Homo-oligomer: A and B are copies of this chain.
Amino acid sequence: MILTVTLNAALDLTYRVPHLVPHASHRVREVTERPGGKGLNVARVLGALGFRTTVTGFAGGETGRTLRTLLAADGAGAGRAADGDRGSGTAAGTGGETAAVTDALVEVAGPTRRTVGVVDESTGDTTQLNEPGPHISPDEWERFLTAYRGLLEQDVEAVALCGSLPPGVPVGAYATLVREARTAGIPALLDTSGEPLRRGLAARPDLVKPNADELAGITGTAEPLRAARAAQRRGARAVAASLGADGMLLVTQDGAWSAAVPERLAGNPTGAGDSAVAGLLSGLAEGLPWPERLARAVALSAATVRAPVAGEFDEQTYARMLPSVRVRGAETP
């Protein structure tokens, strides 16, 4: 299975209002709730591709309870929920049936944070409000580490370490988790930003997936290829940088490639980065060559931009885009 870690999981609320006016009062027309946080989003996409996925991280309080109930309901609705031993090797890109996501979240005392996305129906734009997350005690962090080590002893093909850190978790947390994965012989992908990314790089993750801003933030270089090489020198074995509408750039020890879809797609980019992680991770788990992993990531990103619901991906767009993604060798600067 594939393991995703979300230390600062969230209950994602989406509010639709006719028109958002600062300092006014609004009746919300429609409310949707779903499990959120990068690693949970990645797991949802992997599940939709037919990969068995386990999620861990922290959950607590009534919001955590709601998150876990929704996660279980997602699984119950999935085509393969009752069939946990499906192999993951054949489904991706073939429109395979959905696999259930297994909940291995660690219960904590503090309540899981909420995020509120306010969609202005007059413009389609979203105003985002993100709670900081619960304070994690040293004891809770130790309990997580024990649970994480236990999961790594199972049949994990790859692990993704995703998102921000809640208060109380050591800033070097991802470095610790990368080292534990290497000790267990499991490839690790790191998708975070700022100081947690900087520290995580030093532990030599197999792959990091910053966006252009995050990459520039840690390397001081705005030119993507140069910045990706700099991130490699800081410890990442490979760097996949998401460049928005310009697609992705991948720098590895075997070569460098860039990839994009052949057409500009209008839509909502929310979750496109998480879908890219799912694409990279699924290709890693299957042992695909790097250019194919990259193509999958780019096609999934594009299919996410085109989906009517933020953070989901449009299966038809994915099936159409995957063979049309242009992967080119990237020049060294």
Contact = CB atoms under 8 A, between A and B. Distances in A.
B23 A125 contact: yes
Given A62-B65, A62-B66, A65-B62, A25 B130 contact: yes
A28 to B, nearest CB: 5
A311 to B, nearest CB: 14
B129 A15 contact: yes
A17 B129 CA distance: 9
A172 interface: no
A24 interface: yes
A71 to B, nearest CB: 14
Interface stretch (A34-42, A115-123, A296-304): A115-123
A309 interface: no
A63 interface: yes
A23 B62 contact: no
Given A62-B62, A62-B66, A66-B62, A24 B127 contact: yes
A73 interface: no
Contact of A23 (B25, B120, B129): B120
A131 interface: yes
Contacts of A128: 24-26
22 contacts: A15-B116, A15-B129, A17-B129, A21-B127, A22-B127, A23-B120, A23-B125, A23-B126, A23-B127, A25-B127, A25-B128, A26-B127, A26-B128, A26-B130, A27-B132, A28-B129, A28-B130, A31-B131, A31-B132, A62-B63, A116-B116, A116-B129
